[in-house]
């Protein structure tokens, strides 16, 4: 089992006012799954993704990653897991400004033990169809291309899981379709994809959808016919 | 470590004008330190040149008011004597005979005695009230002053109370303008003196300016002008400068014998070697240098606070970037080092620019001073450069560590949400 959550809760203490965002979430994710986490704003889906992605720790409950209890992992170990095992794709791309496409993709390698940074980053960019944009600055490319750079950056350390938080939220439908295509391709290659979205159509690109409401999983469904976009030519 | 430098450099180069303004305080501080140290070296070279011109392997014999006399006169106890030139009490015991006896001591190559008087010197319609410097002819062998035209006076002329004069560079121009003074007669007091030589320009040394003096034989000054039989001071040139301390003691013994002094506290003279003069000078120079560097240090602290302020702003500006880096696997230590190195780089850039600026300014000062005919070596001491770079780094660490710690402690979720 790659991800095994048991009765996870998350509470925030704001000057003595305790707010519980997650109410005992239990979830199992196998290696190679394509999972969508759906839910309306404020449902706790992003909080859940942050906990699964080791950006945050649960208040209570057990989180086993790759069959290891992560409760007592120090911060540096969590940083290492984020670097080596996990790739993040954010809604607003989060590329470094005034920095080339290539250097943006190299960034995670900076904190890893991997070598041949330029070769790895070039290969990752080629895999998302941006092999010709290496020297472009991050502000010189379109939104769709920015998100593909972000995917290349998530891929560059060859992680087991890719977390995508509303990856099509800031994109037009064509660019969004391209991004979803890439994520499906990565899943086809054996990578686990966990997608957070509030959009049912986007969620149906996955093989499984869990729906969260008020901090609890209210539905866990397998998608028999996941949406498959016809690959479109990049016109960005 | 290279990766931290790369990230830090990216941060710095993103805003060049802010980097420049942030480091300005450090630049000024380090520039001032370099300027002060370089000026100190230049001043040292100037003093050395003056001492060389005076005779670097020489000792000076000054007349002083004995401590006991001084105490009686001033009503306060003094440990040592003070120069008679600074006192109303003239010391009349230092005579030409003392100089002749000193000349016969071991390790003494040559010696001269000197006295000074203020007189009106006239040529044509031009009159100047200046110092008349009387010395033995041997002064011309000991002193390194160059006679630009004519000749020095001789021992024979000194013995014969000859009325001959060698003019300083400036007084020659003041009196004669473009005309050749050689062979002309100037009036000193009520006597006419033939100008037999003119000095090349030397520049001033302390409160004495050789360029504005007239040099005449000591016997002529003593007997015809001042009506005295004593000397103000003497200079002895040594064979071996390494034995200057011993020779100084020999001279002191000799003078005590000649002056019938049995109590060392009643010495009416002081023998000073050039090494002692240099020690005194270096002590004063070090104190002044230290004071000026302490003032420059204030600028460095102010500059450091400026860097700290900007680093706090930079951390706030880059919260989203810090969050992203943490999400991509940067540890707290990685973030701490990146910001700390950025702070150190900022102060080091300021330091390096300060070193270059300070050196350039020192070079210009040296050139300007040299153009006035004064010996002034341009030199930036290596220890000054090492000190400046080290201080810059330390300031970067001290003033960068708190903003860097703030950055490192940021929660990645909160930081990411700032986007």
Q: How far apart (Å, rounded) are the C-alpha atoms in residues B283 and B278?
A: 8
Select from A59, A55, A67, A72 the least CA-distant residue to A29.
A67
Give me the pLDDT at residue B78, please: 41
SS3 track for chain A: CCEEEEEEEEEEEECCEEEEEEEEEEEEECCCCEEEEECCCCCCHHHHHHHHCCCCCCCEEEEEECCEECCCCCHHHHHHHHHHCEEEECCCCCCCCCCEHHHHHHHHHHCCCCCCHHHHHHHHHHHCCCCCCCCCEHHHCCHHHHHHHHHHHHHCCCCCEEEEECCCCCCCHHHHHHHHHHHHHHHHCCCEEEEEECCHHHHCCCCEEEEEECCEEEEEEECCCCCCCCCCCCCC
Instruction: Please report, for chain B, the start and end positions of each structural domain, with discontinuous segments joined by +.
Output: 2-51+279-417, 94-258
3-state secondary structure of B228: coil
Does A46 fall in a domain? yes
In a domain, A72, yes or no: yes
pLDDT in tens, A121-154: 999 999 999 999 999 999 999 999 999 999 999 9
Beta strands in B206-249 (DSSP E): 208-209, 214-217, 233-238
In this predicted complex, what is the ipTM? 0.91
Share of chain A above pLDDT 90, in %: 85
In angstroms, the separation between the Cα of residue B338 and the nearest Cα of chain A is 12
Nearest-by-Cβ selection for A56 from B14, B334, B413: B413
Whether A203 shows a pLDDT value over 60: the answer reads yes
Nearest C-alpha in B relative to A98 = B14
Q: Which residues of chain B have pLDDT under 70?
A: 53-55, 68-89, 203-208, 418-419
Residues of B in contact with A84 (CB under 8 A): 329
Instruction: Using CA coordinates, name the residue in chain A closest to B14.
Output: A98
β pairing state of B164-167 and B191-199:
parallel
State the alpha helices, DSSP H only, in B65-217.
Answer: 67-74, 96-103, 139-142, 155-159, 169-176
- Helix, strand, coil share of chain B (percent; to 5): 60, 20, 20
Contact A88, A53 (CB under 8 A): yes
- CA A136 vs CA A149, A151, B342: distances in Å: 11, 16, 25
Alpha helices in B186-273 (DSSP H): 218-220, 244-258
Residue B115 Rama label (left phi>0; alpha psi -120 to 50; beta): beta
pLDDT for res B180: 93
| Mean pLDDT, range A162-183, rounded to an integer | 92
Answer yes or no: are the C-beta atoms of B258 and B96 closer than 8 Å: no
Q: Is there a contact between A90 and B6 if contact means CB atoms under 8 Å apart?
A: no
How far B413 CA lies from chain A's nearest CA (Å)? 6
Q: Of B312, B241, B246, B313, whose CA–CA distance to B278 is shortest?
A: B241
Enumerate chain B positions whose Cβ falls within 8 A of a Cβ in A: 3, 6-7, 10, 14, 320-321, 324-334, 412-413, 416, 419
How close B46 gets to chain A, by Cα (Å)? 53
**Given an 8 Å threshold on Cβ–Cβ distance, is A50 in contact with B324?**
no
Q: How far apart are CA B394 and CA A82, in angstroms?
A: 34
pLDDT of amino acid B113? 94
Q: Which residues of A touch B3 (CB under 8 A)?
A: 110-111
* Contact assignment for B331 to A111 by CB distance below 8 Å: yes
**A137 lies in some domain:** yes
The residues facing A64 across adjacent strands are A4, A69
Check A79 against B6: CB less than 8 A apart. no
CA-based nearest distance B398→chain A, Å: 25
Chain-chain contact of A107 with B328 (C-beta, under 8 angstroms): yes
Distance of CA B113 to the CA centre of its chain: 27
Between chains, do B327 and A53 touch, taking CB under 8 Å as contact? yes
CATH number for A34: 3.40.50.300
Higher pLDDT, A228 or B77: A228
Which residue blocks in B127-243 are alpha helix, DSSP H? 139-142, 155-159, 169-176, 218-220
What total of structural domains would you count in chain A?
A: 1
B-interface mutation test, from A52, A103, A110, A158, most B Cβ less than 10 A away: A110
Asked whether residue A231 is domain-assigned, the answer is no
Q: Which of A174, A183, A191, A185 is nearest to A233 (CA)?
A: A174
Comparing CB atoms, the residue among A82, A90, A94 nearest residue B329 is A82
Backbone torsions φ then ψ of B167, nearest 5 degrees: -95, 145
Q: Which of A39-43, A191-195, B3-7, B163-167 has the lowest mean pLDDT?
A: B3-7
Phi and psi at residue A167, to the nearest 5°: -65, -20
Specify the 3-state DSSP secondary structure of B312: helix
Provide the greatest CA pair distance for chain B.
102
Q: Which of A218, A220, A200 is nearest to A208 (CA)?
A: A220
> Is A234 a residue whose pLDDT tops 70?
no
The residues that bridge with A27 in the sheet, in sequence order, are: A5
Residue B416 and residue A108: Cβ atoms within 8 Å? Answer: no
Q: What pTM, to 2 d.p., does this model score? A: 0.72
| Residue among A109, A106, A145 nearest A128 (CA) | A145
Mutate to test the interface with B, among A48, A52, A55 (most CBs of B within 10 A): A55
CA atoms of A15 and B15, how far apart (whole Å): 38
Distance CA B279, CA B323 (A): 60
What does the block give as tokens for B271? Answer: 């023998």
- B80: its two tokens: 């040592």
Q: How many CB atoms lie within 10 A of CB B151?
A: 12
Long-range contacts of A125-131 (CB under 8 A, 24+ apart): A125/A101, A125/A149, A125/A152, A127/A152, A127/A155, A128/A152, A128/A155, A128/A182, A129/A234, A130/A101
Residues of A with a Cβ under 8 Å from any B Cβ are 50, 53, 55-56, 75-76, 79-80, 82-84, 88, 90, 92, 94, 96-99, 103, 107-108, 110-112, 153, 157
Which residues, in sequence order, are bridge partners of residue A87?
A: A162
Instruction: Evaluate if residue A68 carries a pLDDT over 50.
Output: yes
User: Quick check: A96 and B321 CB within 8 A?
Assistant: yes
Say if residues B222 and B134 touch (Cβ distance below 8 Å): yes
Residue B413 CA to residue B192 CA, distance in Å, equals 99
Q: What are phi and psi of B288, to 5 degrees?
A: -65, -45
- Does any domain span residue A216? yes
Range of the domain at A112: 3-222
User: Which chain B residues have a beta carbon less than 8 Å from that of A82?
Assistant: 326-329
pLDDT band at A227 (very low <50, low <70, confident <90, very high): confident
Q: Which residue of B has its CA nearest to A76?
A: B331
B327 vs A88: CB contact, 8 Å cut-off?
Answer: yes
């Amino acid at each position: 089992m790659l991800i095994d959550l048991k009765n996870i809760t998350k509470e925030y203490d704001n000057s003595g006012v305790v707010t519980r965002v997650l109410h005992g979430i239990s979830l199992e994710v196998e290696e190679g799954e394509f999972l969508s986490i759906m839910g309306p704003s404020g449902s706790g889906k992003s909080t859940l993704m942050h906990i699964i992605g080791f950006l945050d720790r649960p208040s209570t409950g057990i989180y086993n990653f790759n069959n290891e209890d992560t409760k007592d992992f120090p911060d540096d170990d969590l940083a290492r897991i984020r670097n080596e095992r996990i790739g993040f794709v954010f809604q607003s791309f989060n590329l470094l400004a005034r920095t080339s496409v290539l250097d943006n993709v190299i960034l995670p390698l900076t904190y890893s033990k991997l070598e041949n940074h330029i070769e790895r980053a070039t290969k990752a960019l080629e895999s998302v169809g941006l092999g010709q944009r290496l020297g472009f600055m991050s502000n010189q490319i379109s939104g769709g291309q920015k998100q593909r750079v972000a995917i290349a950056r998530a891929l560059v350390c060859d992680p087991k899981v890719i977390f995508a938080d509303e990856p099509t939220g800031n994109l037009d439908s064509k660019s969004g379709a391209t991004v979803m295509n890439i994520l499906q391709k990565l899943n086809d290659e054996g990578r686990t994809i966990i997608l957070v979205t509030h959009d049912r159509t986007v969620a149906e690109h996955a093989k499984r959808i869990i729906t969260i409401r008020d901090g609890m999983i209210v539905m866990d469904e397998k998608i028999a016919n996941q949406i498959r976009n016809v690959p479109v030519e990049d016109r960005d | 470590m290279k990766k931290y430098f790369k990230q830090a450099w990216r941060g710095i180069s993103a805003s060049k004008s802010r980097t420049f303004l942030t480091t300005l305080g450090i630049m000024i501080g380090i520039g001032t330190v370099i300027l002060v140290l370089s000026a100190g070296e230049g001043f040292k070279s100037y003093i050395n040149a003056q001492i060389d011109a005076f005779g670097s392997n020489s000792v000076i014999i000054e007349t002083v008011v004995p401590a006991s006399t001084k105490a009686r006169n001033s009503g306060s106890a003094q440990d040592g004597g003070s120069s008679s030139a600074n006192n109303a009490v003239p010391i009349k015991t230092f005579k030409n005979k003392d100089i002749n006896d000193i000349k016969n001591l071991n390790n003494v190559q040559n010696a001269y005695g000197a006295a000074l008087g203020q007189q009106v010197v006239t040529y044509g319609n031009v009159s100047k009230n200046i110092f008349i410097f009387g010395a033995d002819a041997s002064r011309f062998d000991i002193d390194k002053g160059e006679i630009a035209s004519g000749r020095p006076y001789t021992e024979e002329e000194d013995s014969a109370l000859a009325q001959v004069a060698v003019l300083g560079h400036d007084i020659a121009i003041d009196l004669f303008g473009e005309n050749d003074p050689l062979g002309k007669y100037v009036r000193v007091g009520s006597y006419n003196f033939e100008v037999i030589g003119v000095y090349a320009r030397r520049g001033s040394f302390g409160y004495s300016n050789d360029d504005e003096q007239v040099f005449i034989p000591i016997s002529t000054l003593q007997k015809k002008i001042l009506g005295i039989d004593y000397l103000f001071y003497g200079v002895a040139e040594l064979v071996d400068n390494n034995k200057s301390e011993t020779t100084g003691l020999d001279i002191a013994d000799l003078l005590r014998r000649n002056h019938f002094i049995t109590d060392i506290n009643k010495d009416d003279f002081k023998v000073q070697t050039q090494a002692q003069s240099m020690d005194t000078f270096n002590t004063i120079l070090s104190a002044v240098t230290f004071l000026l560097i302490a003032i420059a240090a204030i600028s460095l602290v102010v500059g450091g606070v400026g860097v700290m302020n900007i680093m706090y702003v930079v951390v706030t500006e880059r919260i989203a970037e810090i969050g992203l880096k943490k999400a991509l696997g940067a540890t707290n230590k990685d973030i701490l080092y990146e910001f700390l190195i950025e702070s150190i780089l900022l102060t080091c850039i300021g330091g390096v620019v300060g070193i270059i600026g300070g050196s350039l300014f020192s070079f210009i000062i040296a050139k300007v001073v040299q153009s006035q005919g004064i010996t002034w070596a341009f030199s930036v001491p290596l220890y000054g450069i090492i000190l400046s770079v080290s201080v810059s780094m330390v300031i970067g660490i001290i003033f960068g560590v708190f903003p860097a710690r703030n950055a490192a402690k940021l929660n990645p979720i909160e930081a990411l949400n700032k986007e």
